[in-house]
Each structure stands twice: as C-alpha cells, then as structure tokens.
Structure 1
C-alpha cells in the first residue's frame, strides 16, 4: 500500500471513529478530541499495522479511551458536587419521600429516560442518540412520564404543580 493510500485510510478512519463515538453517546467535541489523541498516540508509537488489523485496533483503543474519559469526567463531577457545593445548599437539600416512592413505580425504561435527561443533563437530541430514537419520540416519552408521575402523586394525595 502506498503512503498516500495509507494516509487516506487514516483520514477515513478518523471520520468513521468520530461517528462511532457520537453514535454511542459522546458529544461531538469529545469524539473529535479522543480521535485526535488516539491518532497522536499511534503516531508516537510508530505503530504500522496492515489495514485489516488497523481498523479493529483503533476501534478498541478509541472506545476504551472514551470510557476512561467518561469515568474521569463523572468522578470529577462527583468530587465537585461533594466538596465544592456550598454548605447551605447541602443543608437545604431534602429528599422528597413521596417523589421517591412515585419514581419507584415507574418502569426501568422510564427511570432511565429521566436519569439521562435530568441527572446526566443531556439534551433531548443527546438522549435520542443514546436511545436510538427520534427527538420527537423522546419528547413524547418525557411528556408521558411526567403525566404518569403527576397521576401517581395525585392518587397518593400529594398534589404537584
């Protein structure tokens, strides 16, 4: 294989790997950064693999790098929340037992949807990509889950606005 063909293959793989990560839930900027880091590492290692072995190797490295980045970011958010949140906010925070009880009555899919949207603070579009459905479907599902929670809380005698 000629050097130019190899370079074209690498350029094509970079785009392919970015799409792969975005399809698995990564933000575009994160996917671009991870792909760049992986290609820099591969070039620094002076790793020359045949085209048949290069693609699977890069997919594994990109995915494991993304998981490491995700875990590091999640841990960072936990530490910030735990140690940098003002004392007053921690004291004012009370768990609404009625709401927890209502959440327990939701299906696992419904709870996952709420966690993705509100706990992980993903946009409608990001949730749609993660769950492999359209943004319109996510909006409708969220609407239905909100309505269901409201109905459960009303039935238990706890009005929510």
Structure 2
C-alpha cells in the first residue's frame, strides 16, 4: 500500500471512529479528543499494522479510551456529590435540600470547578493550570457559578412561599 493510500485510510478511520463514538453516546468534542488520543497512542507505539488489522484495533482502543473518560467524569460527579454537599447535621434540612437540588442543576464543568476550588482547596492559579485557562477566566467562571447558585436558590425559596 502506498503512503498516500495509507494516509487516506487513516483519515477515513478517524471520521468513522468519531461517528462510532457519537453513536455510542459521546459528545462531539469528546469523540474528537478520543480519536486524537487514539492516533497519538498508535504513533507513539510506532505500531505498524496491516490495513485489515488496523480498523479493529483502533475501534477497540477508541472504545476503551471512551470508557475510561466516562468513568473518570463519573468519579468527578461522585466527588462533587460527596464533598460539595454539606452535612445534614450542620445545615437546616430545608436549606440542605435546596442546595442539593441547586448543585444538581449546575452543568458538570461548573461542579468540577467548584470541586477544584473549594474541595481540593486549590488556588485560582492552580485551578487555571488544571483547566488550562488563564486565572482571570477562572475568577470570572467562579463568579458566574456563584451567581447561578444564588439565582437557583432564590427561585427555589420564592417558589415555596
């Protein structure tokens, strides 16, 4: 097989893998990231497979990478649930329930941000390094998340009265 044909096959496989992962429930960005990771892994291993063995291998690696990513995100959600929710003894049960439901309505990336900042007690700069953004962006995101929580909690308390 010529080099150009092999490159075309790899490009076609990248598109196929993305569609496969999106069909299995992955978000578009996640599928793109996983495909990139899979091809980087293959290149780093300097693995040379014949075209008929390459497709099944890439599908297996892509699926296992997706499962690893899914499990890691699920673990973050569990940590947020476990550590960002106050103990029932310390907080009035009504306030606790309001806070619990407010945290559940936040997007996953907002909960992850709160976990890094307040549970792991990272500085703004450390959170920025973890999320690969500027510290100013972290400050603004935290401000927005706090505003969202206040808005959700106010809406919930007015609905009860």
State the match for 2:77 in structure 1. Answer: 77
Alpha-carbon separation, structure 2, partners of 1:89 and 1:71: 33
SS at match of 2:67: helix
State the match for 1:49 in structure 2. Answer: 49
Structure 1 portions without partners, runs of 5+: 95-117, 122-161
| 1:13 to 2:13 alignment | yes
Structure 2 portions without partners, runs of 5+: 99-103, 108-161
- Superposed displacement of residue 84, structure 1: 1.8
Q: Indicate conservation of the 8 Å contact 2:18/2:35, yes or no.
A: yes
TM-score normalised by L of structure 1:
0.55
State the match for 2:37 in structure 1. Answer: 37
State the match for 1:93 in structure 2. Answer: 97
Matches within 5 A, 1:105-144: none
Deviations 1:61-81 (CA, angstroms, capped at 9, x unpaired): 000000010001000111012
| 1:9 to 1:78, Cα distance in 2 relative to 1, 3 A | same
Alpha-carbon separation, structure 1, partners of 2:97 and 2:84: 15
* RMSD of aligned Cα (Å): 2.4
Alpha-carbon separation, structure 2, partners of 1:33 and 1:71: 16
Q: Indicate conservation of the 8 Å contact 2:34/2:66, yes or no.
A: yes
Bigger relative contact order, structure 1 or 2 (CA pairs below 8 A, ≥6 apart): 1
Alpha-carbon separation, structure 1, partners of 2:57 and 2:96: 50
State the match for 2:59 in structure 1. Answer: 59
